[in-house]
Amino acid sequence: MAKASLGERIWYKHWPSQVPKCLDYPDCTLAEFLRESAAKHGSKPAIYFLDAQVTYQELWDMVQRLATGLAELGLKKNDVCALMLPNSIQFVVSYYACQLIGVTVTAINPTYKALEIQHQLKDSGAKALIVLDAVFAEAKDGVTGTRVSTIIGTNVVDLCRFSSLKVFLGKLLKKIPVGELPPDALKLTDLLKKPPHMPQARIDPEDIAVLQYTGGTTGLPKGAMLTHRNVVANAVMCDAWLWKKEPSMGIVGVLPLFHSFAMTTVMNTAIRIGGFQLLFPRPPTDMAELFAAIQKYSAKGGLIMPGVAVLFSKINTHPRVKNYDLRGLKMAVSGAGPLPLEVQNKFEEITGSIIVEGYGLSEATPVTHANPIYGRRKLGTIGLPYPDTDIKIMDKETRTKELPPLPFAVSEAGGLTKEQSEEAAGYTGELVIRGPQVMRGYLNRPEESAAAIRDGWLYTGDIACIDADGYTIIRDRIKDMIKFKGYAIFPAEVEDLLHKHPDVRGAAVIGIPQEKVGEVVKAFIVLDPKKKGAVTAEQIQEWAKDKMALYKIPSIIEFRDELPTTLVGKILRRVLKQEEMAKAKK
């Protein structure tokens, strides 16, 4: 979208004065941001990984060398290179090397199985695969029948500059995972020995920078075509929203970089602002590992931590959290799903940092909204649209009628009240978005692309409303909405209310088909370990009576030790639904 005023949108009433409403977006690739940061901050850290440090100058040098190596292998503008890597120095180097020469990146979840890998490689048309040796066993079969002709392998510590003895002992003691690569695989470290002399590729801002695979609403994962303009714009937006940041700030990379959330808010944003990335190859199994890292690497400018509700909840409930100095954590941003108010409040109390909820989706690179970090926040909302981002609410049935904002403003203390929730029904519909971060469409899927993007507007599939102050409230996914006797019930709202129970540590809600009423509400609840067996379903239902309308109270409650989640931390309601369907067939 060209730089132009959106007019006096309702969300400008409380817009942070330090953030421009419209921004300038350079016609370049993300690699230009790295080039600029290397020139400004050459000797400063760009990455910390497994106690190894990489400076900006070292990172830029490696990116140029790998770009040269990839070009000499025959990869050229608009070819696709797949990365099957965990958070690591190699991921950042590989991603930016591709950006530099116009090669499209598609990042594959390193935990994928052969058929999942094969689908993404086939669908994307990838010609090369940069893969961690420890996960190649699955990739070996996944490559079969695809266009991949070049495999480049690496070990997780290859770029850490550890001594040969340390590496030998680490592998021997199985502290450093290893795996066997095919005899014809190239070594990433060999490609990095190339003296940099990249070809001068003329890259158009509308060329595809990233094929970000997403499940969408139905079917097999499909590739969201994110252009260079998309990824550059979203990094610039994040930079502007973090107006009070300092170049010495670090961004904690616990979330996986193969997911668009961390790809933008950790990697691309850190490089844009000249800060460092504190990368973890996998989410810590013990949060104390994260606490120790925050304590150790707190920079002068402090740390920013993008995360998800499950991560923040684990931090809140860790028995040793108060044994660490977490004051270096200045702010956190929660996305990829609703942030329960109780989790938000407890996190701020424990850490002393600011935590705000934002929103995005892979089709929008992904960030479209956030609460002002320094300004008027509204807990229980996803905040305001980003600069140059326009939104509207369309009716759920026809998706053609625009709905007005709520006639009231929600409080800063937390979302819709019980009474407001009922009044909001007529103002609640599908959230649609337009902005420079919105994808071109889905690769080789014209019908699905046409359904998702209409006249430049992205139809998100999320149900939302906008309050009288312009703050957006996500109520749920359209496909997850429960219909009970004609009432619309939003699982996310019920989950949020259940989290207010003092003994509830996790909750997921789905609809169970029932002929006479349509669907009934079933809740899967994780209790505080100390309360297992002491809290009954009936007690929770009784507690809920003055917290939500009677028809929203779960009629079925099942207690569990844990809930199914993605690596990013999203609760997988579809898995719970599949389990219920399997039970019904027996």
Query: What separation in angstroms does the CA of 584 have from each of 556, 576, 581?
Result: 15, 13, 5
Q: Look at residue 251 and tell me if it is in a domain.
A: no
Which stretches of 243-318 are DSSP H helices?
260-262, 269-273, 287-297, 309-317
472 token code pair: 């957006």
Q: Look at residue 462 and tell me if it is in a domain.
A: no
Query: What separation in angstroms does the CA of 122 have from each of 82, 223, 444?
Result: 11, 11, 12
Q: Look at residue 34 and tell me if it is in a domain.
A: yes
* One-letter-per-residue 3-state SS of 362-402: HHHCCEEEECCCCCCCCCCCCEEECCCCEEEEECCCCCCCE
pLDDT of residue 159: 92
231 token code pair: 């990824």
Q: State how far the Cα of 321 lies from the Cα of 484, in Å rounded to an integer.
A: 42
Q: Look at residue 456 and tell me if it is in a domain.
A: no
Could you tell me which of 296, 286, 262, 215 has the C-alpha nearest to residue 479? 215
pLDDT of residue 218: 46
Could you tell me which of 296, 294, 242, 312 has the C-alpha nearest to residue 270? 242
SS3 (DSSP) at 500: coil
Instruction: Please state at what angle helix 56-72 crosses helix 89-101, rounded to 10 degrees.
Output: 60
Could you tell me which of 130, 145, 135 has the C-alpha nearest to residue 186? 130
Q: Look at residue 494 and tell me if it is in a domain.
A: yes
Q: State how far the Cα of 43 lies from the Cα of 536, in Å rounded to an integer.
A: 58
Instruction: Please report which helix (H) or strand (E) contains residue 449, including its range.
Output: helix 446-452
pLDDT of residue 7: 66
**Amino acid identity, residue 400?**
T
User: To the nearest 5 percent, what fractions of the chain are helix, strand and coil?
Assistant: 35, 25, 40
Largest CA distance in the chain: 72
Q: Look at residue 318 and tell me if it is in a domain.
A: no
Q: What is the CATH number of the domain that holds 536?
A: 3.30.300.30
Query: What separation in angstroms does the CA of 433 have from each of 43, 88, 340, 368?
Result: 40, 33, 24, 8
Task: Write phi, then psi, for 512 (nearest 5 degrees).
Answer: -110, 120
Residue 235 CA to chain centroid, in angstroms?
14
Residue-wise pLDDT tens digits, 476-535? 777 777 878 767 787 888 888 898 899 998 898 988 888 777 788 999 999 988 888 899
* One-letter-per-residue 3-state SS of 17-45: CCCCCCCCCCCCCHHHHHHHHHHHHCCCE
Range of the structural domain that residue 61 is part of: 28-44+55-204
Q: Which among 147, 181, 204 is the end of a domain?
A: 204
Instruction: Please report which helix (H) or strand (E) contains residue 67, including its range.
Output: helix 56-72
Half-sphere exposure of 472 (CA within 13 A, CB side): 33
Provide CB contacts within 8 A for 544, sequence distance 6+: 497, 498, 501, 553, 554
Do residues 29 and 201 lie in contact, with contact meaning Cβ atoms separated by under 8 Å? no
pLDDT of residue 103: 97
Query: What separation in angstroms does the CA of 69 have from each of 17, 50, 92, 198, 399?
Result: 46, 26, 16, 8, 49
Q: State how far the Cα of 16 lies from the Cα of 242, in Å rounded to an integer.
A: 11
Q: Which among 157, 175, 204 is the end of a domain?
A: 204
Q: Which among 177, 204, 231 is the end of a domain?
A: 204
Q: State how far the Cα of 421 lies from the Cα of 415, in Å rounded to an integer.
A: 9
Q: What is the CATH number of the domain that holds 198?
A: 3.40.50.980
170 token code pair: 């680490």
pLDDT of residue 102: 95
Residue 496 CA to chain centroid, in angstroms?
20
Q: What pairing do the DSSP bridges indicate for beta strands 222-227 and 250-253?
A: unpaired
- Which residues, given as ranges, of the chain have pLDDT below 70? 1-7, 216-219, 299, 486, 568, 586
Indicate the number of domains in the chain. 2
Q: State how far the Cα of 86 lies from the Cα of 89, in Å rounded to an integer.
A: 9
Q: Look at residue 442 and tell me if it is in a domain.
A: no
Q: Look at residue 73 and tell me if it is in a domain.
A: yes
Q: State how far the Cα of 340 lies from the Cα of 501, in Å rounded to an integer.
A: 11
Instruction: Please report which helix (H) or strand (E) contains residue 151, including its range.
Output: strand 150-154
Query: What separation in angstroms does the CA of 142 have from each of 118, 121, 173?
Result: 4, 8, 29
Do residues 171 and 162 lie in contact, with contact meaning Cβ atoms separated by under 8 Å? no
- State the CB neighbour count (10 A cutoff) for residue 22: 13
